[in-house]
Amino acid sequence: MKSPVKQVNNALYKSTIDVGAGKIKQIVWYFVNIIFFKNSFNVISSVKVSLLKLFGAKIGKGVVIKPVVNIKYPWKLQVGDHSWIGEEVWIDNLSDVIIGNNVTLSQGALLLTGSHDHTRTTFDFISYPIQLEDGVWIGARAVVFGGTTCQSHSILGINSVAEKDLKPYTIYKGNPAIPVLSRSIF
For the purposes of burial, counting CB atoms within 10 Å of the CB of 93, is it exposed (0-12), middle (13-18) or buried (19 or more)? buried
**Residue 109: domain span:** 21-182
Q: Is 81 within the bounds of a domain?
A: yes
Residue 180 has pLDDT above 90, yes or no: yes
Q: Is 131 within the bounds of a domain?
A: yes
Q: Is 82 within the bounds of a domain?
A: yes
Q: Is 128 within the bounds of a domain?
A: yes
- Cβ proximity of 40 and 94 under 8 Å: no
Q: What are phi and psi of 26, to 5 degrees?
A: -65, -45
% residues pLDDT > 70 (the chain): 99
Residue 15 has pLDDT above 80, yes or no: no
Residue 95 has pLDDT above 90, yes or no: yes
Q: Is 1 within the bounds of a domain?
A: no
Per-residue model confidence as pLDDT tens digits over 112-132: 999 988 888 888 889 999 999
| Sheet containing strand 84-85, strands side by side | 64-65, 84-85, 104-105, 137-138, 155-156, 170-173, 178-182
Domain tally for the chain?
1
% residues pLDDT > 90 (the chain): 83
Q: Is 133 within the bounds of a domain?
A: yes
Per-residue model confidence as pLDDT tens digits over 157-167: 999 999 999 99
What is the average pLDDT score of the chain? 95
- Geometric angle at alpha carbon 62, from 36 and 173, rounded to 5°: 85
Q: Is 161 within the bounds of a domain?
A: yes
Q: Is 145 within the bounds of a domain?
A: yes
Is residue 1 very low, low, confident or very high in pLDDT (cuts 50, 70, 90)? Answer: low
CATH number for position 80: 2.160.10.10
Per-residue model confidence as pLDDT tens digits over 56-78: 999 999 999 999 999 999 999 99
